[in-house]
Amino acid sequence: MPSIKDYKIATLGSHSALQILKGAKDEGFDTICICMKGRSKPYESYGVADNIIEIENFDEFFGLQEELIKQNAIMIPHGSFVTYIGPQSMKKLKVMHYGTKGILEFESDRDKERLWLLDAGCKMPRIFDKPEDIDVPVIVKFHGAQGGKGYFVAKSTKDFYEGIKDYPGNKKYVLQEYIVGVPMYTHFFYSPITEELEVMSFDKRYESNADSIGRISAQDQLDADIRTSYTITGNIPLVIRESILPQVFEMGENVVKASQKLVGKGLYGPFCLEAIIDPNLNFYVFEISARIVAGTNPFINGSPYTWLKYNEPMSTGRRIARDIKMAIEQDRLDDVLG
């Protein structure tokens, strides 16, 4: 019988690597952590990596592949890995990879992503083709603005042209309806082995300075001339109002179904819908991440939802390893590799 002892689980030392590696070890796999030089301390200290390989830069990763292939390593992608390698180069990876690589192209292209989510029936914020069309407050999102830094809100066409003066050189942007509500990031998992969609957990982000502006009065905000930024610094766990849960399951299932029309085996493994819920409980999805998100990091020991389902600690990282383990033991590894 095929055994998990014949395989290793590998990932890049950043983002959600701690829970991916810990989860893999909990499921019985040996682990490999590929780290930028000088950044291996957490992986040593928490004892999650059986083997740490240090590299000077991410281009070196491609040279490592032969070694990883020799060791039968299965690479788990996460946000930093996809960013550093790039969605196009991802397709050229030769090492075994958990998840459909092609789907990453749809999450990294705002237009393709939008068509996918609309096809899945998600409600999304309106998009304005040109500043002259602005008739509700909009959030101006620049392309490549990492971590929401430098976005600004404009309530009219005039306001937009005033605001954009502060961003010379930033020509590419999206004008998206600004939804007044609360952020809610839902972490899903779809297993091609069990063919079941699971709701793993929820979080919101802890953003600087958006999450601190309310600590001073509106007058002080004006006096200090503070501009809102959304630089992510951490994640805060949440539970959702229970009556919204049926809608959440339905959304996740529809997104998976719609993805199967787009590319190969479609979307499977972990993914996240980033949304704002307005006071009428409308769920406005503004983005999808088609891989594990760092918002699952508070749940290394499991979330209230995974506790309901598993009765044992089950992080998203561990769930990935379990999917791979089930696939190996059922001789279906191809079903989880992309």
Residues of this chain that bind ligand ATP (CB under 6 A): 125, 139, 141, 145, 147-148, 176-179, 183, 205, 207, 230, 274, 276, 286-287
Nearest residue to ligand ATP by CB is 148
CB of 158 to ligand ATP, least distance (A): 20
**CA–CA separation, 207 and 103 (whole Å):** 27
Q: Output 179 or 314, the one with its CB closest to ligand ATP.
A: 179
Question: Which neighbouring-strand residues pair with 275?
Answer: 184, 285
Q: Output 43 or 173, the one with its CB closest to ligand ATP.
A: 173
* Token pair for 248: 């959440």
Q: Output 268 or 286, the one with its CB closest to ligand ATP.
A: 286
**Between β-strands 196-209 and 182-191, what pairing exists: parallel, antiparallel or unpaired?**
antiparallel
CB of 68 to ligand ATP, least distance (A): 27
**CA–CA separation, 17 and 12 (whole Å):** 7
CB of 203 to ligand ATP, least distance (A): 11
CB 48 within 8 A of CB 27: no
Q: Output 55 or 164, the one with its CB closest to ligand ATP.
A: 164
Question: Which neighbouring-strand residues pair with 55?
Answer: 36
Q: Where are the alpha helices (DSSP H) in 187-303?
A: 218-223, 245-259
CB of 141 to ligand ATP, least distance (A): 6
What values do phi and psi take at 155, rounded to 5?
Answer: -100, -5
Length, in residues, of the chain: 338
CB of 184 to ligand ATP, least distance (A): 9
Q: Output 148 or 313, the one with its CB closest to ligand ATP.
A: 148
